[in-house]
Amino acid sequence: MTARRFLMNAGRTTKQGQQINIGKDHPEYIAMTTTITMHPDDMREIGVAAGNQVRVKSETGEAMFTCKEGKVPSGMIFVVYGPPTCKLMGQITDGTGMPTSKGWEVEVELAN
């Protein structure tokens, strides 16, 4: 299947906040920050099933994620903020110390 462009929103979750206390190297934390949530119709359109690996590319980098269905609007993806999303967001912080994490245009494709 072909790649398609989406708006990526990265954010923190309560569960992620709890897991940070045990460390970023813990398997559960890694699983959270390497999972992408997509609308089921979008997944079908690009030929991705739940549990498949997808490659997400932005103008600043790329990262691999495990895909799951979720309640997100069609055309949008959600990713828990973490090391993989940092590869996609770049380094410009506009003086805030944190890069913009909402509304990044990215390309998503099934990984081989």
What DSSP letter does each residue of 62-83 carry, written as one string?
Answer: EEEEEEEE-S--TTEEEEESSH
Residue 40 is predicted with a pLDDT of: 97
Nearest to 86 by CA among 71, 100, 103, 67: 100
Under a CB-based contact definition with an 8 Å cutoff, are residues 9 and 101 in contact? yes
Cα–Cα distance for residue pair 36/21, rounded to 1 Å: 22
Residue 63 is predicted with a pLDDT of: 93
Residue 101 is predicted with a pLDDT of: 55
CATH code that applies to domain 4-110: 2.40.40.20
Q: Is the pLDDT of residue 108 over 70?
A: yes
The reported pTM is 0.80
Span 41-99, pLDDT tens digits = 999 999 999 999 999 998 888 999 999 999 999 999 999 888 888 787 766 555 555 55
Cα–Cα distance for residue pair 64/95, rounded to 1 Å: 28
The domain limits of the chain are: 4-110
Helix/strand/coil for 32: helix
Neighbours of 82 (CB within 10 A): 19
Residue 44 is predicted with a pLDDT of: 94
Element (H, E) at 33: helix 27-33
* Tokens describing residue 28: 């559960």
